[in-house]
Structure 1
Amino acid sequence: MERNTKIALLAVIVIAIVAVAGLAFSGFGGKQTLKIATTTSLEDTGLLTVLEAAFEKQNPNIDVQFIAAGTGQSLEYGKKGDVDLVMVHSKTQEQKFINESYGTQRNVFAYNYFYIVGPASDPAQINGTNATEAFKQINTTGSANPDQVKFVSRGDNSGTHNREIQIWNKTGADYNTTIQGQKWYIESGKGMGDTLNLANEKTAYTLSDSGTYLAYKGNITLVPFVTQGKDLLNIYSMIPVNPEKFSNVNYNASMKWVDFVLSTEGQNIVGEYGKEKYGQQLFIPLAGQAEPTK
């Protein structure tokens, strides 16, 4: 009798442990959480909202939660195991993240271009130039007339900010000593949408991903001057956080998200997004294709 009682008690304990473990994994109500750190440029365009709705329709047991930050901050979240997946757009930073075993694999899914935008009056006369020539002109004219020519930077270690720094350095200037801190150079420390609004307020130039610019252009007067070229190519990727480094991450849900975005349905959403709302495609699908080089 005593032996049967012990067995029954043990069975109750085992069932309780399994139940608690199930709740811990799936969340109350049977839902799992998928935490994604994403660039503000993807968030500001509204694309993620559409992808999320379609994904959750297929996976009703997964609740997708986005944390919008610059690429640098998004990768930091990944390095701490605070998120399950990152969606970013700075290849050098992404490869470092993977090489240090924080991420498993880089999955490219879309691209567009950065735009150099500014006031229609074009005080630095950059129209018709390329990216490096435009930045060189802004530096020269801004230094000579800081009240008339200004540039607003993200200044937040985002993918856009890192690309901006690369272009400044390519002009022959040293970003840290001859660009940063100048009177004509303003750092917003904010996301892309807020930076565009600040540049508009200051009648300044800025570097923006094309998607966010097109989403915001109806509310600002800034116009695009340089929109193509290798220096302005902007590729987006998804990287699951390494479950071998952080046992708490929801790797299975991450891979379901990756597979969905790379699927025919996901890529159709990416390619069609913006046409109806903004009258123009914001992203070019890239799944299963070689990365463009220019």
Structure 2
Amino acid sequence: MVHLSTILSLVALVFQPGPAVSLEQHQNSSASSDGAQEVYNGGFSNAQTVKLRIGNGGAGQSGLVKAFADAYIQYSVGQGSSPFLVEWFLGDTTQSLAKLASGAIDVALTYNEAAENASIKSGAGVQRSLAFIDHFWLVGPPSNPANLSTVGDTVLDMFNKLVTMGNADQAVPPTDRVPTRFLSRYDKSATNIKESQLFITIGQVPWALAYSNWYHQYPRFPLQALQGASLLEEYTLTDKGTWLSSPSNVTSNLIVYKQGLEPSASNSIPGDDTTILLNPCAAVLGSQTLDNAVAKDFMKWLLSDDGGQKVVRGFKKNGVQLYAPASKA
């Protein structure tokens, strides 16, 4: 049963005014007056001019965008440039591509190939290149009310069990355990799209009428969504970067039931869990930029083995690498 203290905590969580940002993300950065979530200077306190604007959600919250920005500024200064600023605009894939189309950002780091190709076709974007790979993880409460098996179940088996047990618990609410519930960000993010694809693959649309009460619509950014699932003892689809960037009091209340891995000689069957749960991130260069030379140079640097790909390989939390370089695709 859910205790009163949990309910009160949930109320505070639901009605918080906006997405929280960790203290780590605020180091060597400051908020911008034009709507940017963070501003990075590469360690150069005399930098004043913004020359690059990047849009992204989860990799910004994990700190990877900051790592990209600071490393690129330092690289550019080493090449003879004066110090400058890079802004990060918080947004999911849909929001970031919309900002790119309006000219509010120069580069979108997004996670949906079809939407990215549509951006290129429309003229809003002029270049799309794979930047790095994240990984989707299906996580949930240790009590495991849906009886997911980490040994024998595929990810589609698990989603079938979520539907079956969610419907059963909705029909007859359990009195001796937490009911089966799935938390969806329900915000048109890449995570929401992937989760929807998995449900549709097994012939289910729990967000449609008649609405399934076990399908919890919770439109928040990645860190806040995982926090909600932890507090409410619900299953959810998250990503490796978000998991490893979350505090232990969030992740300790959850178990990873299925995770994506890069293909290898032992797990490279098309359509298997490895392929299904990969989350590639592409960089899309916009047609309207603050400084076209800088934006194009950033794209080139981002894809170079000694530039952005080196940053990806070296970006770790507690000794664990969060993302894979583009070459792993």
**TM-score greater than 0.5 by the shorter chain:** yes
State the secondary structure of the residue aligned to 1:172. coil
Normalization by structure 1: what TM-score?
0.80
Instruction: Tell me what 2:188 maps to.
Output: 157
Amino acid at match of 1:189: P
Counterpart contact for 2:58–2:221, Cα < 8 Å: yes
C-alpha displacement of 1:193? 0.4
State the secondary structure of the residue aligned to 1:224. strand
C-alpha displacement of 1:58? 2.4
Give aligned pairs, total.
254
Note the 1:151-230 alignment, pairs <5 A.
Answer: 151-177=182-208, 181-216=211-246, 218-220=248-250, 221-228=253-260, 229=273, 230=275
Any gaps of 5 or more consecutive residues in structure 2?
A: 1-46, 77-81, 174-178, 261-272
Cα distance change, pair 206–217 in 1 and its aligned pair in 2 (3 A)? farther
Counterpart contact for 1:169–1:175, Cα < 8 Å: no
Of 68-77 and 250-259, the range deviating more from structure 2: 250-259
Choose from 104, 119, 125 the match for 2:126. 104
C-alpha displacement of 1:112? 2.8
Amino acid at match of 2:245: A
Instruction: Tell me what 1:141 maps to.
Output: 165
Instruction: Tell me what 1:5 maps to.
Output: none
C-alpha displacement of 1:272? 1.7
Of 43-52 and 113-122, the range deviating more from structure 2: 43-52
Counterpart contact for 1:240–1:251, Cα < 8 Å: no
Counterpart contact for 1:112–1:234, Cα < 8 Å: yes
C-alpha displacement of 1:132? 1.5
Instruction: Tell me what 2:307 maps to.
Output: 265
Cα distance change, pair 178–122 in 1 and its aligned pair in 2 (3 A)? farther
Instruction: Tell me what 1:43 maps to.
Output: 60
State the secondary structure of the residue aligned to 2:144. coil
Matched, 1:62 2:84: yes
Q: Which has more helix, going by share of residues?
A: 1
User: How much is the aligned-residue C-alpha RMSD, in angstroms?
Assistant: 2.0
C-alpha displacement of 1:251? 2.4
Q: Distance in 1 between matches of 2:207 and 2:140?
A: 23
Q: Distance in 2 between matches of 1:206 and 1:176?
A: 15
Counterpart contact for 2:107–2:295, Cα < 8 Å: yes
Choose from 93, 102, 106 the match for 1:84. 106
Counterpart contact for 2:207–2:215, Cα < 8 Å: no
Instruction: Tell me what 1:26 maps to.
Output: none
Q: Distance in 2 between matches of 1:249 and 1:241?
A: 10
C-alpha displacement of 1:215? 1.8
Instruction: Tell me what 2:176 maps to.
Output: none
Instruction: Tell me what 1:236 maps to.
Output: 281
For 1:53-97, what per-residue CA distance to the aligned partner results, in whole angstroms no more than 9, with x for missing partners?
111122344311001111011111112121111011111211111
Instruction: Tell me what 2:10 maps to.
Output: none
For 1:190-239, what per-residue CA distance to the aligned partner results, in whole angstroms no more than 9, with x for missing partners?
11100000000110000001111122162322111011322111101111
Amino acid at match of 1:131: V
Cα distance change, pair 44–127 in 1 and its aligned pair in 2 (3 A)? farther
Matched, 1:281 2:321: yes
Counterpart contact for 1:62–1:253, Cα < 8 Å: no
C-alpha displacement of 1:31? 2.5
Q: Distance in 2 between matches of 1:70 and 1:112?
A: 14
For 1:148-194, what per-residue CA distance to the aligned partner results, in whole angstroms no more than 9, with x for missing partners?
11111111111111111111100111354268x32111122111100
Counterpart contact for 2:51–2:290, Cα < 8 Å: no
